[in-house]
Amino acid sequence: MPHDRHLVGHSDADVLLHAVTDAILGAAALGDIGELFPDADETNRGRDSGEMLQLASQRVEKAGFRVVNLDCIVFAQRPRLTPHKPAIRQRIAELLGIAPDQIGVKAKTGEDLGAVGREDAILAQCVALLETCTTECER
């Protein structure tokens, strides 16, 4: 979405996709995004967070789990995310091979306080519910 500011990070800095990646890896006890895609590895510089999420999802499925649902929160003063929530849910659903109605996305502002309120930072959190696959995990 167009905005007059941008995020800075080793990869493409998509904070929400990074939170989702960490949530599914953590729920399966498979480490975290930094272990799977270390910033000391130059091949991860500018890497697409969608690709990282898909690779993490494959690892989770190989370990015998599938995503039941996600509950995500993005903390950003601007831009206002509410009009973009359906597109965000759709994109995450496509990356994970699940339905958009399995993904909750909430947006919170910093109420003009702290790094989020000053627009110095955007934060994201995600909780993932996984289930054990009784047969081979399929998308």
Buried b (16+ CB within 10 A) or exposed e, 70-108: bebbbbbbebebeeebeebbebbbebbebebeebebebe
Average pLDDT on 123-128 reads 96
Residue 129, SS3? strand
Instruction: Report strand pairing: 65-75 vs 103-108.
Output: parallel
Start-to-end C-alpha separation, the chain: 28
DSSP string, 48-107: -HHHHHHHHHHHHHHTTEEEEEEEEEEE-SSS--GGGHHHHHHHHHHHHTS-GGGEEEEE
Token reading at 132: 């054990």
| Residue whose pair of structure tokens reads 């929160």 in the numeric block | 73
> Domains (ranges, CATH) in the chain?
15-130 (3.30.1330.50)
Q: What is the pTM of this model?
A: 0.86
Element holding 23 (H helix, E strand): helix 15-27
pLDDT higher than threshold 80 for residue 120: no
pLDDT tens, 44-61?
676 788 999 999 999 999
- Give the tens place of pLDDT for each residue, 72-110: 999 988 888 899 999 999 999 999 999 999 999 998 988
Look at the chain and count its residues.
139
How do strand 103-108 and strand 123-132 relate by DSSP bridges? unpaired
